[in-house]
Structure 1
Amino acid sequence: MSHTQQRPDLGLVLIEFQNDFASPGGSLHDAVKEVMETTGMVDHAVAAAEAVRAAGGTVFHTPISFAEGYGELTKHPYGILKGVVDSSSFVKGTWGVEIIEELSPQPGDILIEGKRGLDAFWSTDLDFILRSKGITEIALAGFLTNCCVESTMRSAYEKGYKVVTLTDATAATSLAEQEAATSFTYPMFSNPMETADFIASLSGEKIADATRGY
């Protein structure tokens, strides 16, 4: 009979599960809705979070937020952050910046503050907290598959963490981008896994041994 291993060395990093992305009416929801529905990413992220908590690991929430007027950014943003500014997304004090109800932080979870860019490590104390808790393996889920999740994945890989990316707990702005990132980029810097396989690995094999061919 399988049983859940205790994994205090494991962290699940949830990236930008906020209303502006994940809820109907959010400023960027229409852009990610199709992929969200295809992957079932919110339900998978909820399941992963419950499994990690049950295994004695830690769930980290890494929302992005900006003051009204986006004073933290250059006066002439470009690329993905220009899209954030132009759509008035993730402004402090608004409904859009709040973490979705399904993934509200639970007792024992850690809320990482200060995310202003793509990489969840860059402007936050995520690395310090992970290391202080003795966490050596992290699983990633969230938005966008080929942007903030990918940036965080690459950074975690460079920092020496064992990295898992939950391919069906992420979403991009198109199915083509989703498939390209999870099929070609993710295997270079992580062990890509579906959530069911990740959860199963907590009852037996180590995460890195439970991947499908990576």
Structure 2
Amino acid sequence: MDTTNTAVLLIEFQNDFTTPGGALHDAVAGSMAETGMLANSAKLMDAAREAGATIIHIPISFKPGYSEITSHPYGILAGVVGSQAFVAGGWGAAITDEMTPAPADIVVEGKRGLDAFGSTNLDFILRSKGIQKVAIGGFLTNCCVESTMRTAYERGYDVVTLTDCVAATSSQEHQNAITYDYPMFSRPMTGTEFLAELSGVEAVADTSRGYEPAPA
């Protein structure tokens, strides 16, 4: 694989999801623990960056009062507003320490909805850098990650979903998305498998959630 045409998209690794005390952390804490996704994602980010892939962070945030969206939100955005999550400039909207962007990383601004392409210049960034392959991790398995996966697939990118770098609000939702939806619009794989493909070597069994591929 040519790592110069590969990007890792890291969706909403923000304190309101990742960190105790975050507005939505309790909702995802169980799923995060089951997959070890935060540690997995941090290891993957560092290794992919070292291998030469582009690292793109895609947080979501809103002005106090959520004036960017309807005054009568429903569905997942109603939950965001009701919990006062992801308020711009606040601790909850900040990217968690474990996933702190490096100087060369890209932080995409303007995400206000579910699909990371929808209200941002993500597609422009990817195409201007010659990116052909995207690997996606973050929150939620069956919401923003899935929405972004579907759009990336429709726009012709080679899409990988990182199955142990995502979390949802329940095990059932998480597993359902990975089992039934991800294979329709992506190539689902663990972080170990993705990094092995990135490095051109054979992946070893992911028993410790470390990303140390073995030589082919």
Which TM-score band (shorter chain)?
Answer: over 0.9
What is the aligned partner in structure 2 of residue 22 from structure 1? 18
Q: 1:99 Cα shift?
A: 0.1
Counterpart among 114, 118, 123 of residue 119 in structure 2: 123
Quick one: distance in 2 between partners of 1:203 and 1:53? Answer: 12
TM-score by structure 2 length? 0.91
- Secondary structure of the structure 2 residue equivalent to 1:139: strand
What residue in structure 1 maps to residue 101 of structure 2? 105
> Which one-letter code corresponds to 2:103 in the other structure?
P
Count of matched residue positions in the alignment of Structure 1 and Structure 2? 203
Once the two structures are superposed, the pairs formed by residues 39-78 of structure 1 within 5 Å of their partners are 39-78=35-74
> Does residue 22 of structure 2 align to residue 8 of structure 1?
no
- The Cα offsets for residues 137-189 of structure 1, whole Å up to 9 and x where unpaired, read as 00000000000000000000000000000000000000000100001100000
Point out where structure 1 has 5 or more consecutive residues left out of the alignment.
207-214
Q: Stretches of 4+ moved more than 2 A in 1?
A: none
Q: What are the within-5 Å matches in structure 2 for residues 1-214 of structure 1?
A: 7-204=3-200
> Which one-letter code corresponds to 2:57 in the other structure?
H
TM-score (norm 1): 0.92
For residues 155 and 104 of structure 2, the distance between their equivalents in structure 1, rounded to whole angstroms, comes to 24
- Please give the per-residue CA displacement for 1:33-64, whole angstroms capped at 9, x wherever unaligned: 00000001111111211122112111000000
Q: What SS is found at the alignment partner of 1:12?
A: strand
Q: Which residue of 2 aligns with 1:209?
A: none
Identical columns (%): 59
Instruction: Note the residue ranges of structure 2 that are not aligned, 5 or more in a row.
Output: 203-216
1:47-105 Cα deviation digits (max 9, x unpaired): 21112211211100000000000000101000000000000000012100000001011
Q: Within 2, Cα distance between the matches of 1:71 and 1:54?
A: 39
**Contact 1:27–1:87 under 8 Å retained in 2:** yes
